[in-house]
Structure 1
Amino acid sequence: MKVKVVYRKLRDYVRYDLKEIAFPSSLPDPPHFKKRRKLTWKERYLVMKEATRLYAASWVRDIGPELRPNEYKKKENTGDQPDGATGSNGETEPSTLEDLAVAARGGMETLRPALQRVYMTRASAYRDALKSFIKGYQEGIQEVMEKKNNPDPLQENDDPKKST
Structure 2
Amino acid sequence: MKVKIVCRKLYDYVRYDLKEIAFPSSLPDPPHFKKRRKLTWKDRYYVLKEASRLYAVSWVRDIGPELRPNDYKKREEGADGLGGVDDKGKEKDPTTLEDLAVAARGGMETLRPALQRLYMTRASAYRDALKSFIGGYQEGVQEVREKKEDFESQKHQDPTDSNKSI
Quick check: TM above 0.5?
yes
Tell me, in whole angstroms, the C-alpha distance in 1 between the residues paired with 2:33 and 2:16.
32
Q: 1:19 aligns with which of 11, 20, 23?
A: 23
1:127-164, Cα deviation, whole Å (9 max, x unpaired): 111111111111111112222223499x86xx9xx969
Aligned-residue offset at 1:117: 1.3
Cα distance 1:61–1:7, how it changes in 2: closer, same or farther (>3 A)? same
CA RMSD, aligned part only?
4.2
Aligned-residue offset at 1:15: 1.8
1:131 aligns with 2:131: yes
Equivalence for 2:99 = 99
Cα distance 1:70–1:137, how it changes in 2: closer, same or farther (>3 A)? farther
- Structure 1: state its 5+ residue gaps: 29-34, 81-85
TM-score, structure 2 as length reference: 0.59
Equivalence for 2:117 = 117
Q: Which amino acid aligns with 1:130?
A: L
Tell me, in whole angstroms, the C-alpha distance in 2 between the residues paired with 1:78 and 1:102.
30
Cα distance 1:126–1:77, how it changes in 2: closer, same or farther (>3 A)? farther
Cα distance 1:36–1:128, how it changes in 2: closer, same or farther (>3 A)? farther
Tell me, in whole angstroms, the C-alpha distance in 2 between the residues paired with 1:97 and 1:5.
69
Aligned-residue offset at 1:53: 5.3
Tell me, in whole angstroms, the C-alpha distance in 1 between the residues paired with 2:16 and 2:118.
61
Judging by fraction of residues, say which structure has more helix: 2
Aligned-residue offset at 1:68: 3.2
Q: Which amino acid aligns with 2:22?
A: L
**How is 1:5-154 mapped onto 2 (pairs within 5 angstroms)?**
5-20=9-24, 37-39=34-36, 48=47, 51=51, 54-72=54-72, 75=75, 90-151=90-151
Tell me, in whole angstroms, the C-alpha distance in 2 between the residues paired with 1:103 and 1:120.
16
Q: Which amino acid aligns with 2:125?
A: A
- Structure 2: state its 5+ residue gaps: none
Tell me, in whole angstroms, the C-alpha distance in 2 between the residues paired with 1:8 and 1:72.
64
Cα distance 1:68–1:124, how it changes in 2: closer, same or farther (>3 A)? farther
Tell me, in whole angstroms, the C-alpha distance in 1 between the residues paired with 2:149 and 2:73.
55
Q: Which amino acid aligns with 1:9?
A: Y
TM-score, structure 1 as length reference: 0.59
